[in-house]
A and B are shown apart, each in its own frame.
Chain A
């Protein structure tokens, strides 16, 4: 089985029903994608497949239909994506465990809707749970990121 993650192609010998989440974490050692619930209820495992946000715990490895991007592929501490910069500037994170998934969801939102309203932000982000309750800051960071991306 072949899988392209963050621009690198991997050859894997695994069960096709293994969820992409566990392929990334345990087979490829890509740990920015998080296990939270296993049933698409929390969004911590959100990645992009072919540029679109997906819950990787619900995608069997054999069904992956395009290149995969994780939070590590969005940007790095040395070269941050505008969304990551916005998360840093707004100091969004408390425990931070959900934030990789939140940022991947926000990236999907802003690529489809560069200027979302408050209601559109709430709609797009409400599938991503944050137990620390950082939603006020996530809202602010999405707006900061939208401004940054428009300025580019």
Chain B
């Protein structure tokens, strides 16, 4: 947006709020590192008034622009504002707000990470590495990469503080009492004589004065909410079946649509015969869309039935191998110089070290995986001559505006995205597909709102999956210690696949190919990590923890193999190798929590693994026991360094859930191709974890480095599969080097 545009936008926001008898507060973020001129330009974008607090005579609304896919993002953002604003969560409304460049994600910009000193170069590189691939999203309002808390932690508290001090200034004008003598509590400014002025009653006056800027943030010792458990605002509706999700959206005159896409990904239909489908009850239209056909009816089920009745002649020129074995073959052929994408870790002299005779070698595999949140993807779109409205659960509202523009031709200012609650995402709602298709259908039916709901089968077979990946590793040990670790990883570029679908270039290496491996804080004398970019595979996308979701398994299982070959203790040798104190403390914590080293019953084994991902050092111990019915998961202990645990209750729930997610998929799930199509159709085919397999999960959030507040949406995932594989080895002597592990061992 031009500078003029920014000024106009600011004026618009303030004046609109004032006309409505209220006020909108933001905060100016004007101090930025000056080293990078690019950042200076970006900082101008931030200098727009960024509204997070709206107060009118009828109430207080906190704007929480990061989407909530279930892990509590709305609540945690509201807490951070409320902490400084001095309001209670039960007296405010929370709204995701409109798509706006004002809400761009600071933490997504790796170069903006505040790591400059030499001492921090490791952390700086780690963070930049994670964020680098997401740089293309800069300026866009995006939720992902476990960035909601790090992006919000200072910004939202400042917004709350600015609003509070401005309200106090307005109260001082009204009462004649000096600001220094006013205090705030529970949505009121209180004078020394006990008179309480509600924020709502001060809204109009506050709108007339310049917001008070540069308010110092409170010392952590004064915090009322951060670090303490709150009741999420969505817990009551979600405990009573009254929470509305995107799929529940309804409006007058709305019709229901269902789609059927070419089972061969990315191809379309040569022709179709809709005559049988058109004659079915309630069917209003059968329409062509990119990649297939859509049925429109007066009920979701009727639309789903009708779209199945369309006779379609599909294109068959599959741009990836028809059969699964071909996908593995491409990976197997990719460990060559031509496909070398990055080698940012190359310590010591790996080649010389591997000349000897006792080289340990292993190969690992990790499959494609579906996101499959329980709410199938859906979107409601209304296209009129003047504007387009989209109601959907999404992590990328600004980006959807650009995609809809391509379809309907409306200016982006006339495309209105209304973000609704998501029934899970795990990365699935970073993709625009369902909105693109709903817009294509709605554009053919102007004036009629169209809700497109995917069937589970269509959602499953057209999911842009987690990457498939393969690793080849070699190493040596001597004198009871790990001496050499050489890890090569081959996978498709998730970022190139994802960005390619939206027409964005992705120059340079894709650090996701080596994420969770190249940046681990081990001082192994000869230590190399090479990423190989595999071409010609099926479309892939960001699945919880992205590259690290496979690479944590590879790195930590092979390291375990080396440690066992050295005859060392897996916990002690990891601690010895780890030079980064904050990381080592996570290992010390899980060792203490699990009483590592204690005698275990016959048939019980434990494995440990550590991965730093998304800037969060995370250590896990998994315990399994052999039983007549198969391997049983007994206990999991996890310790993660996040700087600050904002809400311990949400933290525990999310981390336990992430462990269930990671272990369930590692044990039971895969996506494979047969005849060019995804072979799995529904949860029966690949179902993750159910309650009967769920272990006890003990969680500890560490706060040894409070200057670096981190997000925990993903970092629990990468070490989990390795800790499980290492536990299985400890219990059975069998090394499991491929996911899903049920191909090699029986679980209860």
Contact = CB atoms under 8 A, between A and B. Distances in A.
A104 B692 CA distance: 18
A36 B688 CA distance: 15
Contacts of A77: 236-237, 240, 242
B688 A96 contact: no
A108 B425 CA distance: 29
Interface in A51-86: 70-72, 74-77, 80, 84-85
Nearest to A18: B301
Contacts of B650: 91
B359 interface: no
Given A96-B243, A133-B656, A125 B691 contact: yes
A93 B650 CA distance: 10
A95 B373 contact: yes
A121 to B, nearest CB: 8
A88 B243 CA distance: 13
B301 A94 contact: no
A37 B301 contact: no
A35 B241 contact: no
A31 B248 contact: yes
B68 to A, nearest CB: 8
B441 to A, nearest CB: 17
Given A29-B250, A94-B71, A133 B661 contact: yes
A121 B696 CA distance: 14
B301 A96 contact: no
A35 B649 contact: no
Contact of B236 (A32, A72, A88): A88
B660 A39 contact: no
B284 to A, nearest CB: 14
A118 B238 CA distance: 24
Contacts of A29: 250
Contacts of B455: 38
Contacts of B697: 136
Interface in B645-659: 649-650, 653-654, 656-659
A42 B424 CA distance: 14
Contact of A134 (B240, B244, B657): B657
B21 to A, nearest CB: 30
Interface string B684-709: 10011111101011000000000000
Given A42-B374, A122-B692, A136-B696, A93 B240 contact: no
A22 B300 CA distance: 7
B268 interface: no
Contact of B657 (A19, A121, A125, A133): A133
Given A29-B250, A93-B234, A97-B424, A131 B239 contact: no
B612 interface: no
Contact of A95 (B256, B375, B659, B682): B375
Contacts of B374: 34, 36, 42, 44, 95, 97-98, 129-131
A26 B300 contact: yes
Contact of A37 (B238, B240, B456): B456
Contacts, number: 188
Given A25-B300, A77-B236, A122-B691, A71 B241 contact: yes
Given A72-B241, A72-B242, A132-B424, A95 B70 contact: yes
A3 to B, nearest CB: 15
Interface string B654-684: 1011111100100000000000000000111
A113 interface: no
A33 to B, nearest CB: 8
Contacts of A42: 374, 683
A22 B242 contact: no
A75 B70 contact: no
A138 to B, nearest CB: 7
B20 interface: no
Contacts of A4: none
A126 interface: yes
Contacts of A96: 70, 234, 237-239, 243, 423
Contacts of B375: 34, 36, 95, 97
B683 A129 contact: yes
Nearest to B451: A26
B683 A38 contact: no
Nearest to A80: B240
B281 interface: yes
B467 interface: no
B512 interface: no
A139 B657 contact: no
B423 A97 contact: yes
B428 to A, nearest CB: 10
Nearest to B664: A133
A15 interface: yes
Interface in B225-283: 231-232, 234-245, 247-248, 250, 256, 281
Contact of A135 (B299, B426, B660): B660
B301 A26 contact: yes
Interface string B131-149: 0000000000000000000
B376 interface: yes
Q: Which of B243, B301, B694 has the most CB of A within 10 A?
A: B301
Nearest to A72: B241
Interface string A101-126: 00100000000000000000111011
A137 interface: yes
A97 B687 contact: no
Interface centre among B235, B248, B654, B696, by most chain A C-beta atoms within 10 angstroms, is B235
Given A93-B235, A137-B653, A131 B372 contact: yes
B45 interface: no
B238 A99 contact: yes
A131 B240 contact: no
Given A71-B241, A91-B231, A36 B376 contact: yes
A132 to B, nearest CB: 5
B692 A103 contact: no
Nearest to A87: B239
Contacts of B422: 95
A132 B240 contact: no
Given A29-B250, A41-B683, A94-B70, A131 B426 contact: yes
A92 interface: yes
B299 A27 contact: yes
A42 to B, nearest CB: 6
14 contacts: A22-B299, A22-B301, A36-B375, A37-B683, A76-B242, A84-B240, A88-B231, A91-B235, A94-B424, A99-B239, A122-B694, A132-B71, A133-B664, A135-B660
Interface of A: 15, 18-19, 21-22, 25-27, 29, 31-39, 41-42, 44, 70-72, 74-77, 80, 84-85, 87-88, 91-100, 103, 121-123, 125-139
